[in-house]
Amino acid sequence: MSMHAQPAVLSLSASELARRLRARELRSVDVVGAHVRRAQAVNGRLNALVVKRFGEAMAEAERADAELDRGADPALRPLLGVPCTIKESFGFEGMPNAAGLVSRGAYRAPADCVTVARLRQAGAIPLGVTNTSELCMWLESSNRLYGRTSNPYDYRHMVGGSSGGEGAIVGAGASPFGLGSDIGGSIRLPAFFNGVFGHKASSGLVPSTGQYPPCDGDARRMLGTGPLCRRAEDLMPLLRILAGPDGVDDTVVPRTLGDPAEVALTGLRVRVVLQAGFGTVAPELRSAIQRAARALAALGAQVDHGEIPELKQSFLLWSQKLAVASPHSFHALLGQGEGPPLGRELVRWAVRRSPHTLPALGLALLEKVPGMGKPDPARVQADLDRTLAAILRTIEPGGVLLCPTFPRVAPRHGVPLLRPFDSGYTGVFNALELPATQVPAGLSRQGLPLGLQVVGLHGQDHVTIAVAMALEKALGGWIPPWQSGRPHAS
């Protein structure tokens, strides 16, 4: 089958697939089989799925069909028979859980972590686990254990990190949705670079239990677990499945989630902030955000434009908050307790013998630089409080910000090493604990995805998702790579 004649099921949302499966218009073996074949066709070039379980998935699809034939309760099994993918850093019974760390490569998870268990209990069928950056702390999903992941729109370009494998496999049309995590942009950046939707939840909504590396202390409030998906209508149903206390992560408390269908766009306060981080935003991305603003204005939203000066220090705000909140040093995590000798590892890296990537060694080394230790917590919190107050003044009682996700489209492989501070556009909202939804906005002249993030007030995840759903209709949403017409697309 040519890349221009893909099965229709590869374009449907998980919600629509589930509806058609329940109506018995589709069979799970056919839906899962189509996604398996798409993954087999593209993964050799992408290296997004790093460990596959296609045989197990097809067997689970057969069992799902039998259950659907008997009339399964959709309230209990809303995703029954629908395929998905899982970021490798989540504990998934019998699967690796190394986050790209060579020394942990032989480890296999003894059980499903809470979010994987919730998806599987809902009936989802994982096709495998996907690549990350080393220890989930870099913009590029590349490590010495699994290698480097490439972009489905142009394999010469990167996919983002750390949920880069998820972004690539969902963007390629080989998975309706995936499970990702985001402590500084790790859902939104891969969703942006790969042309799909992604949601970083408000703090305290989804437990992080069972992920590696472990996220402890106050850093758990910065970590948002959530979905990446090709259609916006899946965001809220998936969030409802994932959300809620698990009795282990004490940052998560019971919350009542709102309904995107009840969000009135008429009169909604929308502030366009084009300079919410370091680095000048490319003209094509500025234009995409302006198109989104005009679309919302046409729907009755109250749109205005203006910078929030406090956000110009976004990378510093995020990095200092993470330094204060994290009980473990990155260097220690790199050695699973005792950090490796960095001088030796840099020499080994230079002759291609180190088990670590250069970004990982660089981050560990940066911790050792005088003045780069833990900043004063009170000062950091005061800076964040001022920034949050400025946002509240702008969009209360329930509006949103439209911001760049990154200052340019997906860079070529390796380029972020030269521009490490560009990720500040996303991380600041982790530090502020706010919900943020990544929305695709067409393709650039190069054929690479454009997009923006919609940021809301704490606990108003349904508002950012409602805006994402409206923008999908206005801007076109995910454009499958096989429709991009580019020679390097998968």
- What pLDDT is attached to residue 374? 76
406 shares a domain with 349: no
- What pLDDT is attached to residue 384? 97
Q: Which of 308, 340, 368 is the last residue of a domain?
A: 368
Residue 84 resides in a domain: yes
Residue 117 resides in a domain: yes
352 shares a domain with 208: no
User: What CATH number does the domain containing 290 carry?
Assistant: 3.90.1300.10
pLDDT along the chain (490 residues), means of 10: 73 98 98 98 98 98 98 95 98 98 97 98 98 96 98 98 98 98 97 98 98 93 97 98 97 96 98 88 97 98 96 92 88 84 90 91 79 82 97 96 97 90 90 98 97 98 98 98 88
Q: Are 356 and 145 in contact (CB under 8 A)?
A: no
Domain residues for the domain of 342 are 327-368
| pLDDT tens readout for residues 185-217 | 999 999 999 999 999 999 999 999 999 999 988
Residue 19 resides in a domain: yes
- What pLDDT is attached to residue 132? 98
Residue 321 resides in a domain: no
- What pLDDT is attached to residue 422? 81
Q: Are 434 and 455 in contact (CB under 8 A)?
A: yes
| pLDDT tens readout for residues 13-28 | 999 999 999 999 999 9
- What pLDDT is attached to residue 373? 62
28 shares a domain with 100: yes
Residue 59 resides in a domain: yes
142 shares a domain with 103: yes
Q: Write a three-state SS string for the chain.
A: CCCCCCCHHHHCCHHHHHHHHHCCCCCHHHHHHHHHHHHHHHHHHHCCEEEECHHHHHHHHHHHHHHHHCCCCCCCCCCCCCEEEEECCECCCCCECCCCCHHHCCCECCCCCHHHHHHHHCCCEEEEEECCCHHHCCCCCEECCCEECCECCECCECCCCCCHHHHHHHHCCCCCEEEEEECCCCCHHHHHHCCCEEEECCCCCCCCCCECCCCCHHHHHCCEEEEEECCHHHHHHHHHHHCCCCCCCCCCCCCCCCCHHHCCCCCCEEEECCCCCCCCCCHHHHHHHHHHHHHHHHCCCEEEECCCHHHHHHHHHHHHHHHHHCCCCHHHHHCCCCCCCHHHHHHHHHCCCCCCCHHHHHHHHHHHCCCCCCCCHHHHHHHHHHHHHHHHHHHCCCCEEEECCCCCCCCECCHHHHCHHHHHHHHHHHHCCCCEEEEEEEECCCCCEEEEEEECCCCCHHHHHHHHHHHHHHHCCCCCHHHCCCCCCC
Residue 1 resides in a domain: no
129 shares a domain with 34: yes
312 shares a domain with 184: yes
176 shares a domain with 65: yes
| pLDDT tens readout for residues 93-124 | 999 999 999 999 999 999 999 999 999 999 99
Domain count, the chain: 2
137 shares a domain with 285: yes
393 shares a domain with 464: yes
Residue 259 resides in a domain: yes
79 shares a domain with 46: yes
- Residues acting as catalytic residues: 87, 162, 186
- What pLDDT is attached to residue 2? 40
Query: Considering only CA atoms, which of 183, 256, 177 is closest in space to residue 217?
Result: 183
Residue 187 resides in a domain: yes
388 shares a domain with 352: no
- What pLDDT is attached to residue 370? 57
120 shares a domain with 203: yes
Q: Are 228 and 190 in contact (CB under 8 A)?
A: yes
